Structure 1
Amino acid sequence: MLPAFPHQQRGVVLVVILIIVALVTLIAAQIKSQLRLNERRSANVLQTDQAWQYALGAESLAASHLYDALKQDEGRVHLGQAWAKSAFFFPIDGGELHGKLEDLSTCFNLNSLLYAKKKTDEGNKGQTPDKPNPDDPAQQQPPGVQLLTKLFEQLVPNEESSPQALAAAVVDWLDDDSDPFGSDGAEDYDYQGLQIPYRTGNGPLGAISELRTIKGFTPEIYQKVRPYLCALPDAKYIKINYNTLPPERAELLSILFKDLPVEAARQVLENRPKNGFKDKDALKNANGMPSEAAESPLGKGRLSEDSDYFLLRAEAVVGRGRARVESVLHKQEDKRFEVASRAFSEE
């Protein structure tokens, strides 16, 4: 074999060098790109963590704001107070923090049905199941269940599932027994026959969105009833604050009275004084309140001008980081507020 010419050898070396340079360039570009990605990822993680800390700090800020706003009106909560006038906004280093407070005494606490049913069951002990006494209120449906049924009658009167069936299904989802609540109840066997079977909750609702898993609550029904309902951690809490109740939820005021149409209740709430009604007597004598309207026995202990639970919706933005929190604040015996529950996303 003849030896290669020198100029041919130099060409081979040049090609090899160019290939090596190209490979080194590609590797360097990849390393630089990875470094930039890691740097941006680290910055995002840091900013998101900062945003979470600011969002959690909003709880302390809101608790302090509520304490200062409510101490001026002992035992009364109304929309004329500072907490209700507007959302709060604070500039923070590299971003912003904003949030809003909402009174949770303007909705029907579904978890209160669990406590009401337990009281009724205790009152029925020793009675003959097949011979109930119609004159004994303890053997009738709990007042809370009757009120919820009345509310559903106003909100979803013409749906496939009757208001009675919807209320009974909620009770059965909450209680820990296997006995249907009346003829319209729904226990485990109603859910285990579904394509994706599951069992009843057998305990308090953790979030109102759980309604979507209960028999009869179609997406359409859920959207209609959702604004009127809540799931508070205290099953004994039944207050409805008529000084903060929005006019668009006038149905909640209507069911607590006899002979109070929804439109009349809405008019009363729309004409409510700036600082609310002083007491229930002032409410009953309000403009637009029918003379024949009277507080229903079913609503005993529910009408109130005070509130113990508030919902904080807060969001913090720091650079590319973003954090949202929904916290339930509960008033303690010393009138200060503490976090009762927290969620990191909207329901």
Structure 2
Amino acid sequence: MIPGRASSREDGATLLSVLLLIVLMSTAALAATDALARSVSVARVSDGRADSFWAARGALSVGEAVLNEMLAGRGSKLTVDAALLREPVVFPYPRGTIVVRFREASNCLNLNTLILGDTDEGVSMTEPDRLRQMFEDAGLFSNDARELVDTLADWMDENTSPRAFGAEDAVYSQRDVPHRAPGQRLISLTELRAIKGYDPVKLAALDPMLCVRDKSENVPLNINTLTDAQAPLLTARFSSQLTRADAERLIESRPEGGWLNVEEFLLSERVAIITPDKRNDFELSTESGRIAADITVQSDTGTLRIAAEFERGSDGQFVLNGSHRRPG
């Protein structure tokens, strides 16, 4: 053996081992650096989301205060052209902005008031024919309106016998994602998308007039904030003696600044000829019982959207009644 050659091979092997060790250490260091960077990034995003969450919580409290402040001195009397309903309220905060848009939430028909049987009778309950007529006044064909009323009733009632135009478990079990009718009142309007017949086109036509409350009662309509699109709502809840055209004319001819009270509205030419037994005067008001708010929190980490609703208490003050995150 030649000593010089053996030493050269050993040195080469040692160098190769050192290089391999350096590569392994570099790879480990790179992985650790990448993991640390990801951890920092996740922490920043998490911190940003937490910040947006607390900003939204703060916006709910501030929104309640602003709502009551803007209505101070005028009770809960809102008109369709009130600044509160037309102009968003913007709050800056360190990481972005909070935008709150208020809207009338009293003017709707609570679908949980639909009468399902003899035990549901009550002054605040809605007869199926009234709901069907409202759907027709909103532009739906008669058969479509009947289907929507019957499938809704079947969705909520406890029995499994379908109505004439309705649908029960036998229909829903055949869908791509099989399910059953829950047999209980609605939890939210989003449930309608699961009910037979309620396609996006029909839902868009009905959206301005529908709501879901956890109680089987309707909040009185604020006649001073009704829009033309809600004319069918006025005929459904106040009097079937009004046609949609009558209701539209009433809304269009509303006095500047709104009706002073319900009594003044009842003196309107088209309303005065309706006998009291054909009217539901208790369904009307010149005050808002519910006001909704769409809250958008914009920051460097993204956008958070919250839907909230405020309810007027017995003292006339609005308090937060509920909120949830909105998609989008």
Q: TM-score category by the smaller chain? A: 0.7 to 0.9
Match of 2:167 among 186, 189, 214: 186
Give 2:254's aligned residue. 272
Task: Give the TM-score, by structure 1 length.
Answer: 0.80
Cα distance in 2, alignment partners of residues 63 and 82 from structure 1: 16
Cα distance in 2, alignment partners of residues 21 and 346 from structure 1: 50
Tell me how far 1:48 sits from its aligned partner: 0.4
Deviates more, 1:88-97 or 1:257-266: 257-266
Asked whether the 8 Å contact 2:89–2:99 carries over to 1, the reply is yes
Q: Does 1:308 align with 2:327?
A: no
Cα distance in 2, alignment partners of residues 337 and 17 from structure 1: 74
SS where residue 97 of structure 2 aligns?
Answer: strand
Indicate how the Cα distance of structure 1 residues 212 and 156 shifts in structure 2: closer, same or farther if over 3 A, else same.
Answer: farther
Q: Does 1:158 align with 2:129?
A: no
Indicate how the Cα distance of structure 1 residues 153 and 85 shifts in structure 2: closer, same or farther if over 3 A, else same.
Answer: closer
Indicate how the Cα distance of structure 1 residues 282 and 237 shifts in structure 2: closer, same or farther if over 3 A, else same.
Answer: same
Cα distance in 1, alignment partners of residues 251 and 156 from structure 2: 32
Deviates more, 1:170-179 or 1:230-239: 170-179
Give 1:70's aligned residue. 71
Asked whether the 8 Å contact 2:160–2:168 carries over to 1, the reply is yes
Tell me how far 1:179 sits from its aligned partner: 5.1
Indicate how the Cα distance of structure 1 residues 189 and 304 shifts in structure 2: closer, same or farther if over 3 A, else same.
Answer: farther
Tell me how far 1:51 sits from its aligned partner: 0.6
Asked whether the 8 Å contact 1:155–1:224 carries over to 2, the reply is yes
Match of 2:155 among 173, 179, 192: 173
Tell me how far 1:74 sits from its aligned partner: 3.2
Q: What is the correspondence of 1:106-255 to structure 2 with a 5 Å cutoff?
A: 106-113=107-114, 116-117=115-116, 120-121=118-119, 143-158=126-141, 161-178=143-160, 180=162, 183-194=164-175, 196-255=177-236
Q: Cα deviations across residues 250-291 of structure 1 (Å, max 9, x unaligned)?
A: 2222444456443453344345345322123433556xx657
Tell me how far 1:228 sits from its aligned partner: 2.0
Asked whether the 8 Å contact 2:239–2:280 carries over to 1, the reply is yes
Tell me how far 1:190 sits from its aligned partner: 4.1
* Corresponding residue pairs, total: 323
Q: Partner letter of residue 248 of structure 1?
A: A
Task: Give the TM-score, by structure 2 length.
Answer: 0.84
Indicate how the Cα distance of structure 1 residues 108 and 122 shifts in structure 2: closer, same or farther if over 3 A, else same.
Answer: closer
Q: What is the correspondence of 1:31-110 to structure 2 with a 5 Å cutoff?
A: 31-74=32-75, 76-110=77-111
Indicate how the Cα distance of structure 1 residues 145 and 68 shifts in structure 2: closer, same or farther if over 3 A, else same.
Answer: farther
Percent of matched pairs sharing the same residue: 22
Q: Which runs of 5+ in 1 are unaligned?
A: 124-137
SS where residue 52 of structure 2 aligns?
Answer: helix
SS where residue 76 of structure 1 aligns?
Answer: coil
Match of 1:262 among 244, 252, 264: 244
Indicate how the Cα distance of structure 1 residues 291 and 31 shifts in structure 2: closer, same or farther if over 3 A, else same.
Answer: closer
Q: Partner letter of residue 345 of structure 1?
A: R
Q: Which runs of 5+ in 2 are unaligned?
A: none
Asked whether the 8 Å contact 1:44–1:321 carries over to 2, the reply is no
Deviates more, 1:270-279 or 1:53-62: 270-279
Cα distance in 2, alignment partners of residues 183 and 10 from structure 1: 93
Cα distance in 1, alignment partners of residues 181 and 319 from structure 2: 31
Q: Does 1:337 align with 2:313?
A: no
Cα distance in 2, alignment partners of residues 196 and 99 from structure 1: 37
SS where residue 50 of structure 1 aligns?
Answer: helix
Indicate how the Cα distance of structure 1 residues 202 and 345 shifts in structure 2: closer, same or farther if over 3 A, else same.
Answer: same
Cα distance in 1, alignment partners of residues 217 and 264 from structure 2: 26
Indicate how the Cα distance of structure 1 residues 79 and 219 shifts in structure 2: closer, same or farther if over 3 A, else same.
Answer: closer
Q: Does 1:297 align with 2:262?
A: no
Indicate how the Cα distance of structure 1 residues 260 and 346 shifts in structure 2: closer, same or farther if over 3 A, else same.
Answer: farther
Tell me how far 1:294 sits from its aligned partner: 3.6
CA RMSD after TM alignment: 3.1
